[in-house]
């Protein structure tokens, strides 16, 4: 039996495998429930290199591996004989691997497998843009016939050399992760972690020098689901104490005495690097205090789809904002001592079919949009990257040579290790594709077997995976531990994620310090004021007020009513799934507001029944202020809430929100709406209602939610949050929609046909007016901008003048290890300065944003965010502001040359208060 069209390699760029499924007696099952069935999948990777060789990698089920290998050897031998006699393509077993990194992909291959390959590969290329396909074709020197070599990859299996140059302070200082560069609202330092990695690698190599194969394999293989204290565990070995891996991006999951921080989307909404860093550091300290070695965050998927269930864990719908948020979060986390994990690599943009969908993404979009935050993570010295469940261009992400070996490890020079998402490992040979650690270890939860473990040992013993590669895997994992100095008196794990009542393993260490203050500040700083008429806000000692809606109060059974927050009752301060933690407490808006009411002498009434709109209207009547609270929730696919299987079914307010708001607005001409939402909502039913005087987009704020909301409502915090995504007038206005129909396919195809045009980039290009644009947010004061100036900055990288000159002349950067993270590309190249004046009566923080307008030759969206800063200004004061730009910021990814290139023509830019509110305009000097 032949399976056609389910597995194919990444079509774009260079060096990807073309996977071909072939039939064996055990039968082929490539079901949508891959967790159950994937052990029976048989796959072959077929890649051509240069003119004469084809690498063939085989993915057998563990049980039939030996028998099949034997059959395969016979087949190869037979093929050699036929080849010799007839001059036909031969299959020649050889241990040698071609050394061309980024080997070329053939789209048509003659020989016995050609019908399968052609069909499979063409199905994958059809999904990508013509630019990507042409790149593949033009870089390909592949022949269609020739020797087939086993095994396995174009890569040498040795650790990649340290990227870029020697450290060069002040711009490029040697940096230890425990001592990162200080935070700046306009960062100009590019930390060089390479020396710290080199030292860590030396120590790691020493440590494993006397390890047996089994011991090295143990370092790469989790102990299995729920077999240790943490959600993931690497066992101890000799002097190595083992590793604890624990969620989440916003808390130490399943622990007590830990803080429930605002979600990623909230800190992104602050557009404030200092708050991003501070949150990372506080989280890092808490993880360390609990004895967690590896924190499973930050999460940085791109919010491609507004309904995406896990968008709130991440940093919004723009790669630059996400990249900066990830960069600061990782510097903070690792400064706190814990290893950070950049996840999920890559294209896990929706929860429906997350284990059985292929995200088909062209090479340029992958580089410029989805991979960019991971590049910034590598530049922050991230210790680990987690590969995702889905397929990327029809190859599973954890089995994806192109993404793991070629882009992450080679192009970005990533020195840490790749771990799988939980049960996302697809085969033992994923090790060859770049996977270093399998989590939680077993193939499916509790299955008691593993693709690594004994199977990896056998593969190494039998020569299918080289010892050098196993050494590299173990070295990377242990090096990351040394890199964070976790060998130096790091606390032992002192909580039990799976058994919180066991008094032996739960030491109840209180790690919260005074982090609640930061939670409150980020909660307020990430709140976006969308509408404010008649000076409705800030509240000024209202005589009386009513709070309407369940989101204003506590949940009936407390803040941890639902396991993994998989439910919605009361104030929404977290989404659901593995990206959560337990609340130590949760301040509701009622509590936060009543505290102020007590000081002001205001009377407070409330009604939390979302469905009794008549009562809500009656209660609102005659009040000085009527505050209506509503929300919208989402999460991870393993929990369904109110019919929402992770992703949101729609973008409308939950709990009868629209009708409730309208009922209140009908009775009170000072109605203020407060929204706690995981992402955008369609608010057309009420946004222009004349009685709705203010709208506060409060977001996902963590344990201090009610206090943070009160701070903004009363002006204790002058709002400075800005939208990290677009709020559209209509769901159909967004460029990409959630796929919920598998159309009977075992692997669901999701083509990223919108390419670079996600979120505001699409609205700008298609000339669609949004309700509120990306980057929008009001303040209780106003600002003006003036005196724009742009100055080139002389490079500190004198060794690479040739590269800089070539770039200035429009040549793409060369591709070598670490080439995409090189200093010359990322150091400040231009400084943009201007002045901002506070023209109002109160102090406030402005968030100036810089958008690049590329020349038409670049085929880029009209405006692309490449800089932002935050500046606090007293009334009537003026502050000088600086935003720097690197050559990378001014480049596009050239799919043919496979490098970063300045496009032909004049690059201009705008500075403004949102993606559509430009105040100053300039040109980049040529």
Q: Which residue numbers are catalytic?
A: 421
362 to 401: interface string for ligand BGC, x by CB under 6 A:
----------------------------------------
Nearer to ligand BGC, 353 or 824 (CB): 353
887 touches 824 (CB < 8 A): yes
The helix/strand/coil state of 548 is strand
Using CB atoms within 10 Å of the CB of residue 599, give its burial: 0 to 12 exposed, 13 to 18 middle, 19+ buried: exposed
Secondary structure of 93-148 in HEC code, one letter for each residue: ECCCCCCCCCCCCCCCCCCCCHHHHHHHHHHHHCCCCHHHHHHHHHHCCCCCCCEE
Residue 810 is classified by DSSP as: T
Residue ranges in 561-580 that form contacts with ligand BGC under rule CB under 6 A: 578
Nearer to ligand BGC, 422 or 888 (CB): 422
55 touches 151 (CB < 8 A): yes
Burial 344-378 (b: 16+ CB within 10 A, else e): bbbbbbbbbbbbbbbbbbbbbbbbbbbbbbbbbbb
Cα 676–chain centre separation: 22
Distances (CA, A) of 144 to 43, 47, 49, 102, 309: 20, 10, 10, 17, 43
- CA distance linking residue 769 with residue 386, whole number of Å: 37
- CA distance linking residue 121 with residue 393, whole number of Å: 10
Bridge partners, 883 (sequence order): 832
Q: Are strands 864-868 and 748-751 parallel, antiparallel or unpaired?
A: unpaired
Residue ranges in 263-302 that form contacts with ligand BGC under rule CB under 6 A: 296
Burial 425-463 (b: 16+ CB within 10 A, else e): bbbbbbbbbbbbbbbbbbbbeeeeebbbbebbbbbbeee
Secondary structure of 850-870 in HEC code, one letter for each residue: EEEECCHHHCCCCCEEEEECC
* Residue 232 CB, nearest approach to ligand BGC (Å): 7
* Residue 637 CB, nearest approach to ligand BGC (Å): 8
343 binds ligand BGC (CB under 6 A): yes
Residue 46 is classified by DSSP as: E
Listed residue (440, 415, 421) closest to 232, CA to CA: 440
148 to 187: interface string for ligand BGC, x by CB under 6 A:
----------------------------------------
Q: Describe the crossing of helices 213-220 and 467-483 by its angle, rounded to 10 degrees.
A: 50
Nearer to ligand BGC, 35 or 465 (CB): 35
Distances (CA, A) of 398 to 218, 323, 425, 442, 626: 19, 22, 6, 15, 51
- CA distance linking residue 64 with residue 24, whole number of Å: 10
Listed residue (80, 118, 128) closest to 2, CA to CA: 118
422 binds ligand BGC (CB under 6 A): yes
Nearer to ligand BGC, 648 or 916 (CB): 648
Judged by CB under 6 A, the number of residues near ligand BGC is 7
Distances (CA, A) of 460 to 93, 454, 500, 794: 17, 10, 39, 50
Cα 524–chain centre separation: 24
* Residue 422 CB, nearest approach to ligand BGC (Å): 4
Tokens of 865: 């965010």
* Residue 387 CB, nearest approach to ligand BGC (Å): 11
393 touches 11 (CB < 8 A): yes
296 to 335: interface string for ligand BGC, x by CB under 6 A:
x---------------------------------------
Nearer to ligand BGC, 342 or 529 (CB): 342
Tokens of 492: 């032992």
Cβ of 227: how many Cβ atoms within 10 Å?
15
* Residue 386 CB, nearest approach to ligand BGC (Å): 7
* Residue 468 CB, nearest approach to ligand BGC (Å): 29
Nearer to ligand BGC, 421 or 894 (CB): 421
Nearer to ligand BGC, 175 or 221 (CB): 221
750 to 789: interface string for ligand BGC, x by CB under 6 A:
----------------------------------------
Q: What are the start-end ranges of the E strands in 259-315?
A: 294-295
Question: Judged by CB under 6 A, which of 55, 90, 132, 231 binds ligand BGC?
Answer: 231
Distances (CA, A) of 38 to 5, 24, 444: 16, 14, 10
Q: Are strands 671-677 and 625-632 parallel, antiparallel or unpaired?
A: parallel
Nearer to ligand BGC, 403 or 651 (CB): 403
Nearer to ligand BGC, 19 or 421 (CB): 421
The helix/strand/coil state of 618 is helix
The helix/strand/coil state of 463 is coil
* Residue 565 CB, nearest approach to ligand BGC (Å): 14
Tokens of 625: 């202020």
* Residue 296 CB, nearest approach to ligand BGC (Å): 4
- CA distance linking residue 638 with residue 655, whole number of Å: 22
* Residue 644 CB, nearest approach to ligand BGC (Å): 17
* Residue 344 CB, nearest approach to ligand BGC (Å): 6
607 touches 619 (CB < 8 A): yes
* Residue 671 CB, nearest approach to ligand BGC (Å): 39
Question: Judged by CB under 6 A, which of 19, 192, 247, 564 binds ligand BGC?
Answer: 247
Nearer to ligand BGC, 231 or 696 (CB): 231
596 binds ligand BGC (CB under 6 A): no
Cβ of 897: how many Cβ atoms within 10 Å?
16
* Residue 267 CB, nearest approach to ligand BGC (Å): 18
* Residue 579 CB, nearest approach to ligand BGC (Å): 6
Q: Which residues form the interface with ligand BGC (CB under 6 A)?
A: 231, 247, 296, 343, 421-422, 578
């Amino acid at each position: 039996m032949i399976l056609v069209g389910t597995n194919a390699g990444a079509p774009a760029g260079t060096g990807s495998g073309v996977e071909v499924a072939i039939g064996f007696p055990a039968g082929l099952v490539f079901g949508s429930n891959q967790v159950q069935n994937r052990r029976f999948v048989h796959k072959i990777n077929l890649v051509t290199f240069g003119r004469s060789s084809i690498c063939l990698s085989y993915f057998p089920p563990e049980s039939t591996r030996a028998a099949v290998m034997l059959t395969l050897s016979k087949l190869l031998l037979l093929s050699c004989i036929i080849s010799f006699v007839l001059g036909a393509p031969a299959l020649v077993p050889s241990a040698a691997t071609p050394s061309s990194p980024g080997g070329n992909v053939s789209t048509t291959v003659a020989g016995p497998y050609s019908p399968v390959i052609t069909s499979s590969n063409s199905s994958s290329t059809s999904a990508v843009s013509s630019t990507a396909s042409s790149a593949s074709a033009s870089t390909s020197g592949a022949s269609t016939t020739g020797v087939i070599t086993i095994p396995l990859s174009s890569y040498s299996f040795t650790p990649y050399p340290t990227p870029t140059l020697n450290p060069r302070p002040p711009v490029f200082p040697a940096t230890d992760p425990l001592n990162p560069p200080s935070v700046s609202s306009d960062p100009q330092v590019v930390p060089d972690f390479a020396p710290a990695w080199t030292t860590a690698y030396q120590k790691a190599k020493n440590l494993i020098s006397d390890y047996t194969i089994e011991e090295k394999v143990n370092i790469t293989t989790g102990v299995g689901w729920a077999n240790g204290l943490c959600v993931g565990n690497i066992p101890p070995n000799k002097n190595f104490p083992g590793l604890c891996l624990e969620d989440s991006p916003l808390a130490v999951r399943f622990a007590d005495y830990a803080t429930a921080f605002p979600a990623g989307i909230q800190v992104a909404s602050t557009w404030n690097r200092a708050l991003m860093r501070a949150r990372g550091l506080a989280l890092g300290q808490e993880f360390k205090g609990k004895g967690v070695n590896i924190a499973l965050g930050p999460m940085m998927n791109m919010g491609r789809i507004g309904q995406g269930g896990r968008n709130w864990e991440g940093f919004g719908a723009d790669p630059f904002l996400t990249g900066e948020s990830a960069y600061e979060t990782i510097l903070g986390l690792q400064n706190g001592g814990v290893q950070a994990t950049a996840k999920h690599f890559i294209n896990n943009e929706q929860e429906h079919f997350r284990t059985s969908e292929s995200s088909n993404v062209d090479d340029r979009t992958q580089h410029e949009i989805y991979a960019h935050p991971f590049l910034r993570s590598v530049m922050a010295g991230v210790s680990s990257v987690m590969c995702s469940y889905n397929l990327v261009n029809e190859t599973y992400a954890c089995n994806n040579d192109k993404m793991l070996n070629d882009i992450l490890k080679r192009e970005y020079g990533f020195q840490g290790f790749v771990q799988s998402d939980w049960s996302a490992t697809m085969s033992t040979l994923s090790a060859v594709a770049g996977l270093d650690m399998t989590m939680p270890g077993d193939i499916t939860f509790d299955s008691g077997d593993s693709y690594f473990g004994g199977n990896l040992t056998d593969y190494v013993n039998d020569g299918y995976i080289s010892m050098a590669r196993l050494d590299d895997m173990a070295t990377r994992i242990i090096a990351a531990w040394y890199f964070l100095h976790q060998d130096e008196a790091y606390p032992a794990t002192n909580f039990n994620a799976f058994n919180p009542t066991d008094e032996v393993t739960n030491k109840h260490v209180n790690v919260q310090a005074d982090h609640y203050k930061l939670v409150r500040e980020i909660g307020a700083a990430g709140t976006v004021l969308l509408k404010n008429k008649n000076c409705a806000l800030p509240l000024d000692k209202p005589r009386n007020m009513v709070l309407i809606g369940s989101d204003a109060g506590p949940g009936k059974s407390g803040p941890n009513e639902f396991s993994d927050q998989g439910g919605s009752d009361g104030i929404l301060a977290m989404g659901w799934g593995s990206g959560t933690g337990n609340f130590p407490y949760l301040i509701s808006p009622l509590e936060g507001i009543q505290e102020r009411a007590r000081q002001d002498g205001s009377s407070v009434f409330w009604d939390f029944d979302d469905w009794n709109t008549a009562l809500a209207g009656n209660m609102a009547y005659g009040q000085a202020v009527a505050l209506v609270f509503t929300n919208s929730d989402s999460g991870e696919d393993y929990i369904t809430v109110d019919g929402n299987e992770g992703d949101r079914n729609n973008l409308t307010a939950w709990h009868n929100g629209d009708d409730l708001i309208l009922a209140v607005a009908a009775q009170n001409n000072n109605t203020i709406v407060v929204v706690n939402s995981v992402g955008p909502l369609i608010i057309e039913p009420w946004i222009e209602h004349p009685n709705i005087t203010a709208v506060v987009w409060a977001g996902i704020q963590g344990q201090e939610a009610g206090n943070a909301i009160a701070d903004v409502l009363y002006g204790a915090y002058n709002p400075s949050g800005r939208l990290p995504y677009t709020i559209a007038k209509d769901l159909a206005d967004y460029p990409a929609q959630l796929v919920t129909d598998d159309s009977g396919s075992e692997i669901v195809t999701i083509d990223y046909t919108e390419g670079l045009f996600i979120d505001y980039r699409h609205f700008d290009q298609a000339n669609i007016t949004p309700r509120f644009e990306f980057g929008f947010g009001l303040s209780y004061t106003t600002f003006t901008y003036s005196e724009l100036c742009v100055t080139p900055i002389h490079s500190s990288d004198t060794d690479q003048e040739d590269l800089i000159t070539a770039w200035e002349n429009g040549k793409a950067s060369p591709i070598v290890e670490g080439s995409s993270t090189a200093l010359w590309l990322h150091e400040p190249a231009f400084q943009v300065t201007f002045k901002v004046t506070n023209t109002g009566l109160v102090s406030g923080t402005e968030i100036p944003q810089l958008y690049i307008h590329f020349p038409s030759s670049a085929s880029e969206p009209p405006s692309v965010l490449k800089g932002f800063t935050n500046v606090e200004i007293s009334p009537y004061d003026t502050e000088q502001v600086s935003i720097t730009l690197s050559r990378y910021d001014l480049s596009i990814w050239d799919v043919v040359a496979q490098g970063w290139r300045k496009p032909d023509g004049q690059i201009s830019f705008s500075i403004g208060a949102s993606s559509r509110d430009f105040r100053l305009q300039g040109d980049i000097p040529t």
